Structure 1
Amino acid sequence: MNLFADIRATVLDALTQMQAEGTLPDGLDFASVAVEPPRDAAHGDMATNAAMVLAKPARLQTRAIAEALAAKLLADPRITAADVAGPGFLNLRLAQDVWQALVKAALVQGTEFGRADVGKGQTVNVEFVSANPTGPMHVGHVRGAVVGDALANLLAFAGWKVTREYYINDGGAQVDVLARSAYERYREAHGLEPEIREGLYPGDYLIPVGEALKEKYGDTLLDKGEQVWLADVREFATQMMMARIREDLAALGVEMDLYSSEKALYGTGKIEAAIQTLKDMDLIYEGVLEPPKGKEPEDWEPRVQTLFRSTAHGDDVDRPVQKSDGSWTYFAPDIAYHFDKVQRGYDQLIDIFGADHGGYVKRMKAAVSALSGGRVGLDIKLIQLVKLWKNGEPFKMSKRAGTFVTLRDVVEMAGADVTRFIMLTRKNDVALDFDFDKVLEQSKDNPVFYVQYANARVNSILRKAREAGVDVSDATLAAADLSKLDHAAEIAVAKKIAEWPRLVEIAARGNEPHRVAFYLYELASDLHGLWNRGNDDVSLRFLQDDTATSQAKIALVRAVGVVICSGLGILGVTPVEEMR
């Protein structure tokens, strides 16, 4: 039950009637007509911009449209007031029983309350994490993993069919470096001094790989040249690293639907097929690029390369796909990989990239646009850095990793639920500070505690009611006389609950799961505020002498709990029933 969508439908019906009556001309586009919460709650419950967006195309005065629309809307028993304000906004006030009905809807629908169908069953592929299989995942991957997984949950909740995908970057030179690093640990397992020279991976995490290599190969690889062992060690080490990555993701509560390999694109004709497809569209040519901006001429030399005409699909410059020596650029397998996703029939693609991939956004969007004929959209979310703090100082790097703090370090210190929630308390393109002390403290300033405390409070109220002999089953609460919820503070909480279905749609359309975390904090704040007001106003306490009144008030509390549990489910966080 999306009340805002329902009222918008009522507004559109009224506008259609005005057209039929000749008050408005035919042929107007109502797509930009919105119904949303007013900026100032004192102005009303909802506001519509209908008069403002229609005045110019209708060639009518804004106020005239607003007043005529107001007269139509007042015929709806749910709308008690419709006031024209400012340049033409129409502020609406709704009857109390409308908000009371929202409480019942939340109880009847349970965690399905707020579920949307804006996706309409379309298929979407969310690619995230995609860390190089050269070591354990670091804290930057944590944020990308949480954002990607929560986004996938959100889209599924809003009606999309979602595939979570991990792209294994196992086709580049970095996996050769991994093999050489693992070989040194293999030598170390045989009692030899490892030569961790510059350019190799120094972390202790490769010691078990070396020991496993010894167990499999014995001493048969010792003192042999790379041509003997490189391919086998590379495959073995990559598999072990991917097994660890899967374990790390599981510790964070992330499970992928599909793992795709970059290496599988080479030698299979897939890269060549993707480039040929672009060539058939006259989007591949031989040419020389302009020198990069900001570089001196001596730092660059012109050379003929095979280029993708990405400027034809919105990019700033054309991009090389094949070097002058005939080898593929890094961009070529990325094109082939996304072509594969297009061919699998997805309606939408989403990539979650690190902030250092900003230069890939336009070129990848251009490639997908070209390869899909504009049918498939690609949204790329860039994940900004996470700064770790403890005891007021930057948190030091992990000795096990050698150069960084690992995902496992963070989860072991803060817990998966806390980690996931905190990673969503900022929009993905804003840097985030993760303070181990603050994320574990029990205060209003800690959003995850504040939300979990609200849910624990809901359960505490339910337990106390049961102990007092009050029936607080969802069916009984849904059938309660909710007209007893008549205090402004109670109605305010019901109004916040009413925003949940709208919030789901907005967050899903914008691929913005952080909005769910923001909303849950606001809802928790409203519940805590109502609780605190009950300390001074006995009539606002949830347990009253009259059972019917108690059940009405507890119905409101339970509805808050329903929405919190639903929202936490989208974030991948387990609701806490009792704070300890």
Structure 2
Amino acid sequence: MNLFTEMRALVIAALEKMQTEGTLPEGLNFANVAVEPPRDAAHGDMATNAAMVLAKPAKMKPRDIAEALASKLAADVRVTSADVAGPGFLNLRLAPELWQGLVKAALEGGADFGRSTLGQGAKVNVEYVSANPTGPLHVGHTRGAVFGDALASLLDFVGFNVTREYYINDGGAQVDVLARSVYLRYLEAHGEAVEFPDGTYPGEYLVEVGQALKAKVGAEYVGQPEDVWLVPVREYATEAMMDLIRADLKALGVEMDVFYSEKSLYGTGQIEAALASLEAKGLIYEGVLEPPKGKKPEDWEPREQTLFKSTEHGDDVDRPVKKSDGAWTYFAPDIAYHYDKVSRDFDALIDVFGADHGGYVKRMKAAVSALSDGKVPLDIKLTQLVKLWKNGEPFKMSKRAGNFVTLRDVVDQVGADVTRFVMLTRKNDAPLDFDFDKVLEQSKDNPVFYVQYAHARVCSVLRKAEEAGITSDEAMLIAADLSKLDHAAELDVAKKLAEWPRLVEIAGRTNEPHRVAFYLYELASELHALWNRGNDDPSLRFIQEGDVATSQAKIALARAVAVVISAGLGILGVTPAQEMR
């Protein structure tokens, strides 16, 4: 039940009637007519911009349209008043029955309340994390993992068919560095003294890998040249790191549908096939790039390379796909990987990258546009840096990792639920401060506590109702006389509940799961405000001694809040709290 959609339909019907009557000209486009919450709740329950967006094409004054529309809307039993404001905005107040009915709809819908058919089953691939398999996930990966996972859940909630995917970057030089680092730990496990030269990975997380390699092959590689052990150690080390990464993701509550290996693209003809597809479209050529803008590097020299004509699909410059020595650039396998995605018949692609990949956005979008003939959109979301704080100071690096704070460091400190919620309290492209002390505070300033506390409060109401002998199962609450919810503070809670179906559709359209976290905080605020008013006004308390019918109506309202909080936390991957400790 989306009241905003329902009221927009009412507005459109009124506008069409105005056309029939000659008040409005024919041929107007109503696509940009919106009904939304007013900026100031004191102005009404909903507002429409109809008069403002139609004035110019109708060649009429917006206020004239608004006044005519107001008289039409005010005649509907669902509208108690329609007031024109300013140059032509129209504010609506709705009958209490609509808000009371919304509570019932939330209870009847349960976990599915607010679900949408927006996606119409379209297939969407969400690729996220995709960290190099060279060590444990760090805090930057954590934000990308939480954002990508919540986005995938959000898209599923609004009707898309979602595939969660991890691209394993196991085809580059970094996995050779990993192999050499593991080999040093392997020698160390055999009692040899080793030193880690610059460019290797000295983290303690490789100690166990080296010991496990010793247990597997014994002394087989000791004293052997690199060409003997590099390939098998690389394969062993990569798989060991992926086991570690999968365990890290599981600790955070993230499970992938697909792990796709970059290495599988090499020697299989897939890179060649992707580039052949582009070449057939006249988008691959041999050429020389201009020097980088600004100061020319001292070692720059013009070299003929194989180039992708990415400027024909919105990029700033054409991009090399093969070096002058015949080796593939890093971009070539990425093109092939996305060619594979397009070939898997996804209707839309979403890549979640770290902030350091900002320069990759245009070229990757150009590649997908070219590969799919513009039919498959690619949205690239960048996650900005996370700054960690503890005791008022920057949180120090992990000794185990060697040079960064790991995902496990964060989860072990505060738990997966807190980690996930806090990572979504800012838009993905905004920097995030993660203060270990504040995220565990029991205060209004801590959004995860504030939302969880609201859900826990509802659970306590249900427990107290049971102790008082008041039946409060779902069927009884759905059948409750909700007309007893007539106080403005109670209706304010119902009005906030009404925003949920609209909010998740907007979040789904914009690929912005942080909107869910923001909304849950606002809903929790309404619940806490009502609770606190009950401390001063006994008539607002959820359990009314000696009045079962009124108690059930008020408990139904509280339970509806819990239903929506639980659904929202489910999208964020957070477990609702039953009680606070």
The TM-score with structure 2 as length reference comes to 0.99
Q: How far off its partner does 1:26 sit?
A: 2.4
Partner of 2:303: 303
- Greater mean alpha carbon deviation, residues 229-238 or residues 277-286: 277-286
Aligned counterparts of 1:316 and 1:452: Cα–Cα separation in 2:
47
Residues 158-202 of structure 1: per-residue CA shift (max 9 Å, x gap):
000000000000000000000000001110111111231111100
Q: Are 2:524 and 1:524 equivalent residues in the alignment?
A: yes
Partner of 2:159: 159
Aligned counterparts of 1:42 and 1:303: Cα–Cα separation in 2:
67
Partner of 1:563: 564
Code of the residue aligned with 2:47 in structure 1: it is A
Residues 278-312 of structure 1: per-residue CA shift (max 9 Å, x gap):
11111111222222122236352222111111111
Aligned counterparts of 2:190 and 2:339: Cα–Cα separation in 1:
45
Code of the residue aligned with 1:149 in structure 2: it is D
Partner of 1:91: 91
Partner of 2:555: 554
- Greater mean alpha carbon deviation, residues 444-453 or residues 84-93: 84-93
Q: How far off its partner does 1:138 sit?
A: 0.4
Residues 3-48 of structure 1: per-residue CA shift (max 9 Å, x gap):
1011111111222222223322222221111110011111111111
Partner of 2:222: 222
Q: What does 1:1-400 align with in structure 2 at a 5 Å threshold?
A: 1-296=1-296, 298-400=298-400
Residues 554-576 of structure 1: per-residue CA shift (max 9 Å, x gap):
11111111111110111000011
Code of the residue aligned with 2:569 in structure 1: it is L
Q: Are 2:507 and 1:507 equivalent residues in the alignment?
A: yes
> Could you say what secondary structure the match of 1:469 adopts?
coil
> Could you say what secondary structure the match of 1:574 adopts?
coil
Aligned counterparts of 1:55 and 1:483: Cα–Cα separation in 2:
39
- Greater mean alpha carbon deviation, residues 83-92 or residues 238-247: 83-92
Q: How far off its partner does 1:316 sit?
A: 1.3
> Could you say what secondary structure the match of 1:131 adopts?
coil
> Could you say what secondary structure the match of 1:298 adopts?
coil
Code of the residue aligned with 1:283 in structure 2: it is L
Aligned counterparts of 1:28 and 1:285: Cα–Cα separation in 2:
48
> Could you say what secondary structure the match of 2:298 adopts?
helix
Partner of 2:424: 424
- Greater mean alpha carbon deviation, residues 25-34 or residues 202-211: 25-34
Q: How far off its partner does 1:54 sit?
A: 1.2
Partner of 1:538: 538
Partner of 1:459: 459
Q: How far off its partner does 1:491 sit?
A: 0.6
Aligned counterparts of 1:79 and 1:290: Cα–Cα separation in 2:
64
Q: How far off its partner does 1:247 sit?
A: 0.5
Aligned counterparts of 2:29 and 2:277: Cα–Cα separation in 1:
38
Aligned counterparts of 1:370 and 1:117: Cα–Cα separation in 2:
29
Q: What does 1:476-515 align with in structure 2 at a 5 Å threshold?
A: 476-515=476-515
Residues 324-375 of structure 1: per-residue CA shift (max 9 Å, x gap):
1111111111111011000100011000000000001111111111111111
The TM-score with structure 1 as length reference comes to 0.99
> Could you say what secondary structure the match of 1:301 adopts?
coil
> Could you say what secondary structure the match of 1:305 adopts?
strand
> Could you say what secondary structure the match of 1:93 adopts?
strand
Code of the residue aligned with 1:90 in structure 2: it is L
Unmatched segments (≥5 aa) in structure 2: none
Code of the residue aligned with 1:194 in structure 2: it is V
Residues 453-486 of structure 1: per-residue CA shift (max 9 Å, x gap):
1111001011111111111111111111111111
Aligned counterparts of 1:132 and 1:22: Cα–Cα separation in 2:
65
Code of the residue aligned with 1:236 in structure 2: it is Y
Q: Number of aligned residue pairs: give it.
A: 580
> Could you say what secondary structure the match of 1:260 adopts?
strand
Residues 92-137 of structure 1: per-residue CA shift (max 9 Å, x gap):
1100111000001111111111111111110100000000000000
Code of the residue aligned with 1:96 in structure 2: it is P
Aligned counterparts of 1:311 and 1:15: Cα–Cα separation in 2:
45
Aligned counterparts of 2:504 and 2:105: Cα–Cα separation in 1:
16
Code of the residue aligned with 2:361 in structure 1: it is V
Partner of 1:573: 574
> Could you say what secondary structure the match of 1:77 adopts?
coil
Partner of 2:446: 446
Code of the residue aligned with 2:543 in structure 1: it is L
Aligned counterparts of 1:323 and 1:73: Cα–Cα separation in 2:
67
Aligned counterparts of 1:471 and 1:457: Cα–Cα separation in 2:
18
The list of structure 1 runs, each at least 4 consecutive aligned residues, that deviate by more than 6 angstroms after superposition, is none
- Greater mean alpha carbon deviation, residues 436-445 or residues 166-175: 436-445
Q: How far off its partner does 1:550 sit?
A: 0.9
